[in-house]
Structure 1
Amino acid sequence: MLVTRNLCEGRDSISISLIDTLVNSEKRKNLLLLLKDGPKDMETLLTSLNTKRTALLPQIKIMEEKQLLIKDDDICELTIIGNMLAEKIEPVLNILDFFDEQNDYWGTHNLDVIPPHLLKRISEIGTYTMFETPLSEMFEINKAFEEGFRRSTYVAIFATVLYPTTLELIKEKEIDVEYITTPEVIEKIRTKQYEQFSELIESDHIKFFQYNKEINFPAFALIDDGFFLIMPRKDRNFENIVLMANSPGALAWGRELFEYYQNDSTLINSLEHPDNS
């Protein structure tokens, strides 16, 4: 496996067979990660792993034979090799688990829109759900996002499209909003919704930004208790599958993604009236 081979490069390389010992067994993998925090007695291990002694003992024996752990009476702890391996493999296992949940989706979508430093940490999003907006609602704000928007005190949005009701929703809720979009969307707003948009950018709690680089990222957004992500397909076909996550890790990761794009954006303080252009 390529992932395990990459783990084994460097001065403190570890045998591929040791890594395969863990990757090929969910019980052994979970046991290693559980013992990473220190020695545990059998009862703690059985409870944490939700298994029986007769099922766990053979896995412990295999790991003992590979010099990954030591069992002394009823206490198990990792060896130095086991600790080294746990430190190296945990981030990779997290990434494997993250992508494996929806492997076909991630394999058909363009991950290049995510900056490298965040792509390496994408597993911090944690558990997520995915749902597709019906075609009949394609040009409407996602209902789960709209509900979250209405109960939030802060919202951050990056979008290369502008849904017809977006400005109305922002105006209706007097909360802190940061909105990044493209020059094309800004021009469309300027020519078709000038009065409404001018009123919004004069508000103290609403900030619009124009992204100054080429982008192929449909949308992502943050609310108080959720992160929403729409990824672009590699074949450039349109779809409206939304990833939604609610963990603290997802919110922190999403905030970093927003700040990454915000750094290459310009705050809009005013707009020229369309009659003057």
Structure 2
Amino acid sequence: MEGGKIINSEFFDGISDLEDFNLLKFIITSEIRLKLLFSLYGSTKSIKELESEFNRKSANISRGLNELKGCKLITRLPDKRYAISSIGFLLAKNIENLMYDCESIDSKSEFWENHSIKSIPNRFLKELLFFNNSTLVKSTITEFAKPINVYLENIKESTEISMILPVYSKIFMDSINEALINHGGHLDLITTKNIHDLILKSDSDNYFKSLVRDKKINYYMVDDLANIFFTATDTFASLYLFFDDVVFDSSEMLLIEDLSSLSDAYRFYNSYKTYIFK
């Protein structure tokens, strides 16, 4: 069909580099090794300076330094000071990012704990950290449809829309079509064949087909799709998850309206899109 493309994809990454994993485990399972690595991540230091900083005996500091040196994470300079190596710098940076990821997930712990994330590849779970600055929009007794209404209000004002769509809702699609028609916008859509067929079946006025013909919609159908209803636009970004593999939760949504964070949302979408072309 014009405007569409079918992509075979696999969404479950394994650990590809066991050596890197073991090195990371070696560092984070030792308080002294981790502290030494991050101390040298900031600047070069002598053993005396490190002893004073950590209030540890020289033998403990020396053993930790030798272990890091043996892994080529640090090096000893001619003036007997220690400095982080290029490999050590990259590892420390990755550990720093990992800690930030954990902080991000913890800040919205209830949202993540209440939903299934097992279908989301590990690499994309890390990239979702930009939702650390999001607002959690929840249903209430008096406003049961609050997340949906907030989403619809935002999508109707959007022009450039990128979306990962693992669930179908006529309300959502009608609002997206309205935004594209009213604002002359564009939708880049990743979905499954089942969802695509449901869209066509319910689109009695053939808006979807017309928008595809007019190149206002470009869509990609994949065999397997992670259970994330993700939207990135020029006005907001949002994330809905599933309770399990089949039950979509429309009662909670993470919402970003900070314009400075929207570039991260588009970057996440493009990264995900590139991944399914592998």
TM-score range, shorter chain: 0.5 to 0.7
Q: Is the 8 A contact 1:156 1:258 kept in 2?
A: no
Q: 1:123 maps to what in 2? A: 129
Are the structure 2 counterparts of residues 130 and 149 from structure 1 closer, same or farther at C-alpha, using a change threshold of 3 Å?
Answer: same
Q: Of 95, 114, 123, which aligns to 2:120?
A: 114
Are the structure 2 counterparts of residues 163 and 11 from structure 1 closer, same or farther at C-alpha, using a change threshold of 3 Å?
Answer: closer
Q: 2:162 maps to what in 1? A: 156
Structure 1 residue runs without a partner (length 5+): 1-5, 23-28, 40-59, 69-77, 265-277
Q: 1:63 maps to what in 2? A: 54
Are the structure 2 counterparts of residues 134 and 122 from structure 1 closer, same or farther at C-alpha, using a change threshold of 3 Å?
Answer: same
What is the rounded CA distance, in whole Å, between the counterparts of 2:218 and 2:195 in structure 1? 15
Are the structure 2 counterparts of residues 86 and 61 from structure 1 closer, same or farther at C-alpha, using a change threshold of 3 Å?
Answer: farther
Are the structure 2 counterparts of residues 94 and 144 from structure 1 closer, same or farther at C-alpha, using a change threshold of 3 Å?
Answer: same
The Cα of 1:13 is off from its aligned counterpart by 4.4
The Cα of 1:81 is off from its aligned counterpart by 6.4
Letter in structure 1 aligned against 2:162: A
Identity of matched residues, % = 17
1:76-91 to 2 correspondences below 5 Å:
80=83, 86-87=92-93, 89-91=95-97
What is the rounded CA distance, in whole Å, between the counterparts of 2:20 and 2:31 in structure 1? 12
Q: 1:226 maps to what in 2? A: 236
Q: Is the 8 A contact 2:105 2:132 kept in 1?
A: no
Q: 1:257 maps to what in 2? A: 272
What is the rounded CA distance, in whole Å, between the counterparts of 1:95 and 1:87 in structure 2? 12
The Cα of 1:127 is off from its aligned counterpart by 2.4
The Cα of 1:93 is off from its aligned counterpart by 1.1
The Cα of 1:157 is off from its aligned counterpart by 1.7
The Cα of 1:175 is off from its aligned counterpart by 1.2
Are the structure 2 counterparts of residues 149 and 157 from structure 1 closer, same or farther at C-alpha, using a change threshold of 3 Å?
Answer: farther
What is the rounded CA distance, in whole Å, between the counterparts of 2:160 and 2:227 in structure 1? 22
**TM value normalised by structure 1:** 0.60
Structure 1 residues 24-54: Cα deviation after superposition (integer angstroms, max 9, x where no partner): xxxxx9xx58x84558xxxxxxxxxxxxxxx
Letter in structure 1 aligned against 2:272: L
Letter in structure 2 aligned against 1:197: F
Structure 2 residue runs without a partner (length 5+): 1-18, 45-50, 65-80
SS at match of 1:10: helix
Q: 1:18 maps to what in 2? A: 32
Structure 1 residues 157-186: Cα deviation after superposition (integer angstroms, max 9, x where no partner): 222213323333332221122123333333
Are the structure 2 counterparts of residues 250 and 63 from structure 1 closer, same or farther at C-alpha, using a change threshold of 3 Å?
Answer: farther
Q: Is the 8 A contact 1:216 1:232 kept in 2?
A: no
What is the rounded CA distance, in whole Å, between the counterparts of 1:259 and 1:142 in structure 2? 31
Q: 1:200 maps to what in 2? A: 211
What is the rounded CA distance, in whole Å, between the counterparts of 2:269 and 2:136 in structure 1? 16
What is the rounded CA distance, in whole Å, between the counterparts of 2:249 and 2:271 in structure 1? 25
Higher relative contact order (CA 8 A, sep 6+): 2
Matched, 1:243 2:246: no
Q: 1:143 maps to what in 2? A: 150
Q: 2:186 maps to what in 1? A: 176
1:28-107 to 2 correspondences below 5 Å:
36=41, 62-63=53-54, 65=56, 80=83, 86-87=92-93, 89-107=95-113
What is the rounded CA distance, in whole Å, between the counterparts of 2:215 and 2:126 in structure 1? 36
Structure 1 residues 214-250: Cα deviation after superposition (integer angstroms, max 9, x where no partner): 4462511111253211112237544221112442434
Q: Is the 8 A contact 1:217 1:232 kept in 2?
A: yes
Are the structure 2 counterparts of residues 81 and 145 from structure 1 closer, same or farther at C-alpha, using a change threshold of 3 Å?
Answer: farther
What is the rounded CA distance, in whole Å, between the counterparts of 2:24 and 2:222 in structure 1? 43
The Cα of 1:156 is off from its aligned counterpart by 0.9
What is the rounded CA distance, in whole Å, between the counterparts of 1:79 and 1:97 in structure 2? 30
Aligned length: 220
Could you say what the CA RMSD is over the residues aligned between the two structures, in angstroms?
A: 4.3
SS at match of 1:113: coil
